[in-house]
Amino acid sequence: MSAQQRASATAASLTESVIREMTRLALQHNAINLAQGFPDFPAPDQVKHAAVAAIEQDLNQYPITWGQVSIREALADKYREHYGMVVDPERDVCVTCGATEAMIAAMIGCVDPGQEVIVFEPFYENYGAAAAIAGAVPRYVTLREPGWSFDEAELAAWTVVYGRYQKRKGERLAAAAIAAAAVAAEDLPVPVTVQTTEAEHRLPEHP
């Protein structure tokens, strides 16, 4: 590689997406692809109609950095109606282009270069990439069967907590384990971020 083509150390530390590689191999060998979830059916009519209406109304400008106000207000309403939480759409809500952008933004916003970040494994592949982009050092804590819990002593050995509820075989990381993570983080001099992943309030299933 020439000097003009040299990748940065951060870029060089990033690996090919496992999900994308499995998709490539599935296409190459005409295999059933269980690695990547994507819709292989038409979008719902209400989504297409909304997109057409937006185009016809010339809604084609960049929104404010933290998201279109109507979306933020709708999200604040949802949190109030479903969770009883009072959320200020001007101060407490940020709309991102998908969960991965939100995750990386949270990582960069909470973690300084050189700090250690706990990642509960098995984990979503972009956690490692997010840590690299933030200049953090990932430290892995293994979730073990049964119950997919972890060794509290192993967790206490690290410094920054960044993880998520893991769903494996229909089970969720136990509330006691989450409480243990919170206790371990109480004395940390840095922020704590716990990311949860849930699929909720979806559009109706396609027939």
Q: What is the pLDDT of residue 69?
A: 92
130 with 66, same domain: the answer is: no
Q: What is the pLDDT of residues 31-56, one digit of tens each?
A: 988 887 777 789 999 999 999 999 99
pLDDT for res 166? 45
Q: Do the beta carbons of residue 72 and residue 93 sit within 8 Å?
A: yes
**Mean per-residue pLDDT, 47-68:** 90
CA 194 – CA 125 distance, rounded (Å): 16
The answer to whether position 4 is within a domain reads no
The reply to whether 103 and 188 lie within a common domain is yes
Q: What is the mean pLDDT of the chain?
A: 77
Judge whether residue 120 has pLDDT over 50: yes
Q: 147 — alpha (psi -120 to 50), left (phi > 0) or beta?
A: left
Same domain flag for 82 and 113: no
Residues 142-168, mean pLDDT to the nearest whole number: 67
Residue 55: predicted pLDDT: 93
For residues 66 and 119, membership in a common domain is answered with no
Q: Determine, yes or no, domain membership for 37.
A: no
Could you tell me if 72 and 147 lie in one domain?
A: no
Q: What is the pLDDT of residue 167?
A: 45
Asked if 78 and 160 sit in the same domain, the reply is no
**CA atoms of 10 and 67, how far apart (whole Å):** 28
Span 193-206, average pLDDT: 49
Rounded to an integer, what distance in angstroms lies between the CA atom of residue 78 and that of residue 32?
37
Provide the domain limits for residue 122.
99-195
Domain-located, residue 190: yes
How many structural domains comprise the chain?
A: 2
pLDDT of res. 207: 43
Q: What's the mean pLDDT in 104-131? A: 84
- The amino acid sitting at 30 is N
Whether 166 is covered by a domain: the verdict is: yes
Q: Give pLDDT, residue 42.
A: 92
Residue 155, exposed/middle/buried by CB under 10 A (0-12, 13-18, 19+)?
buried
- Which pLDDT score is estimated for 90? 94
pLDDT at 181: 63
DSSP letters spanning 95-164: --SSHHHHHHHHHHHH--TT-EEEEEES--THHHHHHHHHT-EEEEEE-BTTTTB--HHHHHTSS-BEEE
Does one domain contain both 80 and 112? no
Which one is predicted more confidently, 80 or 141?
A: 80
Report yes or no on 122 lying in a domain: yes
User: Does residue 66 lie within any of the structural domains?
Assistant: yes
Residue 197 has pLDDT above 70, yes or no: no
Q: Identify which has the larger pLDDT, 160 or 166.
A: 160
Indicate whether 66 and 106 sit together in one domain. Answer: no
Comparing CA positions, the residue from 193, 52, 81 lying closest to residue 73 is: 81
Domain of 152, CATH number, reads 3.40.640.10
